[in-house]
A and B are shown apart, each in its own frame.
Chain A
Amino acid sequence: MTTQSIMTVNDLHVHVSTDHCQVPILNGVSFDLQAGKVFGLVGESGSGKTMTCLALVNLLPNKSKVVRGSIKLKNKDLRNLSASEMRQIRGKEIAMIMQNPMSAFNPVVTIGQHFRETLRTHLQVTQKQAEEMAIAYLELMQLPRPDLLLKQYPFQLSGGMLQRVMIAIAVSLQPSIIIADEPTTALDATNQLQILDQLNMLRKEYNTSILLVSHDLGAIAYLADEVAVMNSGNIVERAPVSTLFNRPSHPYTKALLESRLSLSRKACETLE
């Protein structure tokens, strides 16, 4: 089976400018995302996973910017696009699922409004059509009573439901890529598994490429096809998921896996 490369990131360098100097955050990150595949990104806190994700959609925080490298989406270099061209790609071609669903939604705007405005920004549809689409995608995410849900406000929904709404919104525009930066961190265990299953279903159904960032090696092992390990702004190892977990080659990867294993071993010991 041939795989189709959707996005190629090559030699990405991101710097943050402080008062005195430029601090490198990413030093030459390269990877590619393939249609229908899940690309996992792991690494310790502060290694630059979130920065990588933000660079892809050109939403880096103030004072930090891409200084070198290319980000190609289907042979289009995103770094050469104007602000408004980039805006049209966000949501439509590259969707993103936020880490904390509870704060991502505007508390005084209904779920329906969030959904409809997203659809109507990128598609020529009426309010009515947007509403029907929203209901269809909420049903796809197995949310009960989508018609009522659309009239509700974010605070009336649980974190798991909001995360599902967020995924429904992301999928509704059938993007080529979904970036999920720790999509399950804020959720309880049952919801985590369901969300992962649903992401898995979606990438098969729509042939979407998923960039999955997670601290949870279990989630990565469950979903990812390929994994990259990041350490202080570099990808130190990249391998298919089974290879990486069974035969890690880089010392940092070994240390990372070992720390997780020793943690679970400790947990077992205390239980005994």
Chain B
Amino acid sequence: MIWFIVKRLSMLIPILFGISLLTFLLIRLAPGDPAEAYLRLSHIPPTNQAIQEMNVKLGLDKPLIVQYVDWLGKVVRLDFGISYVSKQPVWDELMLYFPATLQLTITAVILTVCISVPIGIFSALYKGGMFDHLSRILSFVGASMPTFWLGFLFMYFFSIKLDLLPVVGRGSLAHLVLPSLTLAFAYISTYTRLLRTSMLENLHQPFVFYARVRGLQERVIIGRHVLKMALLPVVTAFGMTIGNMLTGAFIVESIFAWPGLGRFFVSALSHRDYPVVQSCILLMGVIFVVCNLLVDIAYGLLDPRIRWKGER
């Protein structure tokens, strides 16, 4: 197991390197001139001379490779530069907004797991019953409704009509309910269906029959044998989901005026605040990769066949 983790970790290094390179190039090759953007944001007329001076000041006159190495050297020390808009260190700003996004995403993940796992299990066990039909309808609705529409619907119904929950903003736990539910809703329906299908596939495997032959209790057969197998594809899919959820969080944040990274990113983008945009993309990339790694390790823990592959 240790070897398996070490192997996965060592694969992380080239991937992270690739992400940093891509992020850097993406920004440099994008249309627009950082120096000009800086001058505009600082209310200095962008004359040719001013732009040239600015290029020197920002180090943009050096060859691309030198710029990249400089930038990477700072990034590994968590120095992401200074925001063109606020003139504050980007890192400090990220740390101001990121926790809000993280809170929203983690809550949505927890909601997804806690709701879809039991529903998935029960609709597989009572396939064709009332509960199964109900969950199917719910899943269909959840999968076909766009996030932003669902968000407004929730807001209108629970906050404005029923006046149960706050409309927008962040603060108490009550503020968290609607945004995280909106974010989780589509995933809840996806995962309910996924787990249901995969439970059904495994319910009639020979190993289930053999477990019955040995006289095991039904709850052991379901809970230990079937569920463990049924969770494998779910865990695989989860690697993708966590990353996607972060992106989804951006939309939800703008609906509910949630002071997270999404809003920060969008405003930086419209201002052409290059260091901020670059840092946000890099941060997202790293989170995406790390989540996938964690899921990989979890998969290895669940499925011994993966763990031993290539080691025998």
User: Which positions in A face B, CB cutoff 8 Å?
Assistant: 57, 59, 87-92, 95-96, 98, 100, 103-110, 117-118, 121-122, 153, 155-156, 169
Name which of A98, A108, A169 has the most chain B CB atoms within 10 A of its CB. Answer: A108
From 191 to 211 in chain B, residues with beta carbon under 8 angstroms from any chain A beta carbon are 205-207, 209-211
Known pairs A106-B225, A109-B225; A59 contacts B213 (CB<8 A): yes
In the complex, are the beta carbons of A169 and B207 less than 8 A apart? no
In the complex, are the beta carbons of B210 and A98 less than 8 A apart? yes
Known pairs A57-B213, A89-B215, A91-B214; A106 contacts B228 (CB<8 A): yes
Known pairs A106-B228, A118-B214; A153 contacts B304 (CB<8 A): yes
Cα of A109 to Cα of B211 in the assembled complex, Å: 12
Cα of A156 to Cα of B308 in the assembled complex, Å: 9
In the complex, are the beta carbons of A153 and B214 less than 8 A apart? no
In the complex, are the beta carbons of B206 and A121 less than 8 A apart? no
Known pairs A90-B215, A117-B224, A121-B217; A106 contacts B209 (CB<8 A): no
**What are the residues of chain A within 8 A of B210 when measuring CB–CB?**
98, 104-105
**What are the residues of chain A within 8 A of B224 when measuring CB–CB?**
109, 117
Cα of A122 to Cα of B214 in the assembled complex, Å: 9
Of the residues B213, B229, B305, contact of A155 by C-beta under 8 Å: B305
In the complex, are the beta carbons of A103 and B206 less than 8 A apart? yes
Of the residues A100, A103, A104, A121, contact of B216 by C-beta under 8 Å: A121
Q: Binary interface profile of B, 226-237, with partner A (CB < 8 Å = 1, else 0)? A: 001100100000
In the complex, are the beta carbons of A100 and B206 less than 8 A apart? yes
Cα of A104 to Cα of B207 in the assembled complex, Å: 4
Known pairs A106-B228, A108-B228, A109-B224; A91 contacts B206 (CB<8 A): no
Cα of A121 to Cα of B23 in the assembled complex, Å: 57
The smallest C-beta distance from B234 to any residue of chain A, in angstroms, reads 13
Name which of A92, A109, A155 has the most chain B CB atoms within 10 A of its CB. Answer: A109
Cα of A153 to Cα of B228 in the assembled complex, Å: 14
**What are the residues of chain B within 8 A of A91 when measuring CB–CB?**
213-216
The smallest C-beta distance from A236 to any residue of chain B, in angstroms, reads 28
In the complex, are the beta carbons of B206 and A98 less than 8 A apart? yes
- 11 pairs, CB–CB < 8 Å, chain A vs chain B: A59-B212, A91-B215, A96-B213, A106-B229, A107-B303, A110-B304, A118-B215, A153-B305, A155-B305, A155-B308, A156-B312
By beta carbon, the residue of chain B nearest A122 is: B215
The smallest C-beta distance from B20 to any residue of chain A, in angstroms, reads 37
The smallest C-beta distance from A112 to any residue of chain B, in angstroms, reads 13
Q: For chain B, what secondary structure do more than half of its interface residues adopt (helix, strand, loop), or is it mixed?
A: helix
**What are the residues of chain B within 8 A of A122 when measuring CB–CB?**
215
Of the residues B206, B209, B303, B312, contact of A108 by C-beta under 8 Å: B303
Task: Decide yes or no whether B220 CB sits under 8 A from chain A.
Answer: yes
In the complex, are the beta carbons of A118 and B228 less than 8 A apart? no
In the complex, are the beta carbons of A104 and B206 less than 8 A apart? yes
By beta carbon, the residue of chain A nearest B218 is: A87
Cα of A98 to Cα of B207 in the assembled complex, Å: 10
Cα of A89 to Cα of B214 in the assembled complex, Å: 9
Of the residues A96, A103, A108, A169, contact of B304 by C-beta under 8 Å: A108
**What are the residues of chain A within 8 A of B209 when measuring CB–CB?**
59, 98, 104
**What are the residues of chain A within 8 A of B211 when measuring CB–CB?**
106
Q: Binary interface profile of B, 265-309, with partner A (CB < 8 Å = 1, else 0)? A: 000000000000000000000000000000000000011110010
By beta carbon, the residue of chain B nearest A91 is: B215
**What are the residues of chain B within 8 A of A103 when measuring CB–CB?**
205-207
The smallest C-beta distance from B32 to any residue of chain A, in angstroms, reads 52
**What are the residues of chain B within 8 A of A169 when measuring CB–CB?**
214
**What are the residues of chain A within 8 A of B228 when measuring CB–CB?**
106, 108-109
Q: Binary interface profile of B, 162-206, with partner A (CB < 8 Å = 1, else 0)? A: 000000000000000000000000000000000000000000011
By beta carbon, the residue of chain A nearest B210 is: A104
Cα of A96 to Cα of B209 in the assembled complex, Å: 11
The smallest C-beta distance from B252 to any residue of chain A, in angstroms, reads 35
Known pairs A117-B220, A153-B305, A155-B305; A107 contacts B229 (CB<8 A): yes
**What are the residues of chain B within 8 A of A107 when measuring CB–CB?**
207, 229, 303-305
Of the residues A108, A121, A155, A156, contact of B214 by C-beta under 8 Å: A121
Cα of A110 to Cα of B307 in the assembled complex, Å: 14
